[in-house]
């Protein structure tokens, strides 16, 4: 297999996800260990541990005006993490769910809201939801009936949201009301016959990059849904993607593999022609 993405850093993660470009650095999470990590300048060095949550950590976004602070999809809900390690929970909506749940992927939109999905540990069909955190801290269940949501990723103007339902092998595109955050009727954007769509990001041309779990590939789709690029990496389970300028970063996972290869769980990079913006911040009122 030809390899387009090259491994970086010394670590091999159980479930590397939520990779983000923030303030000139690349951050990511290892979900089951509850760690927020930062990529070092030396590509052969270990990842740096920024903080540990003590619960599974699905994804984070920076908090505007509060250096070192994050909003996080963690445990069974959504919390604010301070630079001193302090945690303030906004909501734990999956605490009393009939299935054993945890939070999964999430991101902020260009209007300062934070969105995060939940999932059942057993991937129970229809048991999961997508939550929206408004700037006043209100947490609203925005989409129900999902199985394993990943993303979301947003257009530059925040009027379109891409959301994967991974186990179902689909990515849907939702219109977003910029003022209220209310979602319109979704349209099917891409269907996958092989592999599962996982983490996503949008580049400066409005194209969607998708990590395709189980295939060792990352795809790029133009806004009309036509695939323009397919990149390969020597890891079976690519899970998260971000653009750090014109460098694509891809996380992967070792967890669940009976015989992990030497690069399963690694972070990979490749130069690309079209750059992408840094991660949007959550902007509390």
pLDDT less than 50: residues of the chain: 1
Distance CA 152, CA 158 (A): 11
DSSP 147: S
Distance CA 126, CA 165 (A): 10
Q: What is the pLDDT of residues 151-192, one digit of tens each?
A: 999 999 999 999 999 999 999 999 999 999 999 999 999 999
At residue 1, the pLDDT reads 41
At residue 3, the pLDDT reads 63
Residue 17 marked ligand-binding: yes
Distance CA 108, CA 251 (A): 19
At residue 84, the pLDDT reads 85
Residue 104 marked ligand-binding: yes
Q: What is the pLDDT of residues 187-227, one digit of tens each?
A: 999 999 999 999 999 999 999 999 999 999 999 999 999 99
Q: What length is written for the chain? A: 285
Structural contact between residues 191 and 180, judged by C-beta atoms closer than 8 angstroms = no
Query: CA torsion angle for 215, 163, 202, 93 (degrees, to 10)?
Result: -110
Classify residue 95 as left (phi > 0), alpha (psi -120 to 50) or beta.
alpha
As annotated, the active-site residues are 198
SS3 assignment, position 94: coil
Distance CA 251, CA 20 (A): 11
Paired with 89 in beta bridges are: 79
Distance CA 49, CA 62 (A): 16
Residue 150 marked ligand-binding: yes
Q: Which domains does the chain have, with CATH numbers?
A: 6-276 (2.120.10.30)
Residue 96 marked ligand-binding: no
């Amino acid at each position: 297999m030809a390899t387009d993405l090259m491994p970086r850093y010394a670590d091999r993660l159980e479930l590397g996800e939520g990779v983000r470009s923030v303030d000139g650095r690349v951050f990511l999470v290892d979900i089951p260990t509850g760690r927020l990590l930062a990529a070092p300048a030396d590509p052969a060095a270990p990842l740096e541990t920024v903080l540990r949550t003590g619960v599974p950590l699905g994804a984070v976004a920076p908090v505007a005006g509060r250096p070192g602070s994050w909003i996080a999809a963690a445990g069974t809900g959504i919390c604010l993490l301070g630079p001193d390690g302090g945690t303030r929970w906004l909501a734990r909506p999956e605490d009393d769910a009939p299935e054993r749940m945890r939070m999964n992927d999430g991101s902020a939109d260009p209007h300062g809201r934070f969105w995060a999905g939940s999932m059942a540990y057993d991937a129970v069909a229809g048991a999961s939801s997508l939550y929206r955190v408004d700037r006043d801290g209100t947490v609203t269940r925005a989409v129900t009936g999902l199985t394993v949501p990943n993303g979301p990723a947003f257009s530059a103007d925040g009027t379109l949201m891409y959301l994967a339902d991974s186990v179902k092998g689909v990515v849907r595109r939702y219109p977003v009301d910029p003022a209220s955050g209310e979602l319109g009727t979704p349209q099917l954007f891409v269907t996958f016959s092989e592999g599962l769509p996982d983490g996503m990001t949008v580049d400066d041309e409005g194209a969607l990059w998708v990590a395709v779990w189980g295939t060792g590939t990352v795809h790029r789709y133009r806004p009309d849904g036509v695939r323009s690029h397919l990149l390969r990496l020597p890891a079976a389970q690519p899970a998260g993607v971000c653009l750090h300028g014109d460098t694509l970063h891809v996380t992967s996972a070792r967890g669940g593999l009976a015989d992990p290869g030497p690069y399963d769980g690694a972070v990979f990079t490749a130069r690309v022609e079209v750059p992408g913006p840094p991660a949007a911040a959550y902007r509390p009122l």
